[in-house]
Every structure is written in structure tokens, then in C-alpha cells.
Amino acid sequence: NVTIFAYGQTGAGKTHTMYGTPEQPGLAPRAIHCLFDVIRKEEQRGLKKFKVKAYMIELYKQDIIDLFTDKPPPKDKRGGLEVKKDVGRGIMFVEGVVERTISSPEELMAALTEGEKKRHVTATKMNSASSRSHLLLSVIIECVVKDKDQVLYGKITLCDLAGSERPKKSEVTGDALKEA
């Protein structure tokens, strides 16, 4: 299990480091392509079979929001989602989150792009599209080792944290000031 964080001041380039551009891909696209390269090589050997699922959430004002669902979050409790531990798989998970089955790096990149469009952002003096939430993309890998009848689980979480900023410097007001 691996978690990679991008942390820093607003405008420092955290989101760019994580996602990059088509010409200069960031950490997430490169990690996604490497993961599927490894899966493809292992499956070609014929000894292992893989299943990949992903979910994407943002932590915004203490709420956990599912970025892969079209349903609005319930108003009664923290986005309706809670973090739990799956003792059998040995990983943490978000109860009630939409987990998408993924079969290619292109499919995962499309899901990432779709989820990213739903993220809370606002303009500040320091950044025209400042992230106001923490964004987590979790990729869950299930590996069946055929000759041993063994199932292994792993998870890669890529976390683009909201910027740390001084409100005086970013000149935010109103709701953006509460988010800072």
C-alpha cells in the first residue's frame, strides 16, 4: 500500500506536479501507465490475473464527497461517506463510495479527468483555480496468483492536498476565507 502526497503553499504547483499536462504528464498519469505496464507484463507470463478498481473523493469542509457519483451528498451527515478498515484485504476504504472497475490506463485517466472537474476550486490572488479541498484518487489492485490460489491486495492513493495559504497574502474573503 502506497500513498503519495503533494503538499505546499497555494500556487506552488501541487496540482501540476500530480497531473501535469498532456505534453509533460505529472505523477498520476505516469504512475497509472507504469501500473498497467506491470500488470500487462505479469499477465503475459500467465501466472497472475489482476482486477483494478478506483475511487475518487475530495475532503471539503470536513465532508467526504464522492467524485465518481452523480448523486448529491445527503445533507444529514458528512457527505454520507465514512472511512472504514477492511480487515480481510488489510486496507482502509470509504464506505458507500463508487468504485469503478478499470481495465486500461486510458479508462483510469478519463475517470480522473471526470472527477477532477467536480473538485471545489476558486480564484485567489495567488492562483486562478486554487484547490479548496484535498483530492484522493485510490487505485485498488487485486492479484490472483493462479498456481497458489492466493489473492493479494494493494492500493495506491494519490493525494493532492489543498494549498496552505495566508489569507492576507491570497486576499480571499467570504466562503474562500473559511476554506483557507
Buried b (16+ CB within 10 A) or exposed e, 23-58: eeebebbebbeebbeebeeeeeeeebebebbbbbbb
Give the burial class of 129: count Cβ atoms within 10 A of its Cβ; 0-12 exposed, 13-18 middle, 19 or more buried: exposed
56-98 pLDDT, tens digit per residue, is 999 887 788 899 998 766 665 555 688 898 888 777 788 999 9
10-53 pLDDT, tens digit per residue, is 778 888 899 999 999 999 999 999 999 999 999 999 999 999 99
Q: What is the three-class DSSP state of 66? A: strand
Q: Is the pTM of this model over 0.75?
A: yes
- Which has the closest alpha carbon to 121: 62, 162, 168? 162
pLDDT: which is higher, 72 or 131:
72
* Residue type for position 114: E
Q: Look at residue 150 and tell me whether its pLDDT is greater than 90.
A: yes
Is 113 within 8 Å of 68 (Cβ atoms)?
no
Strand partners, 141: 52, 154
Percent of the chain exceeding pLDDT 90 equals: 46
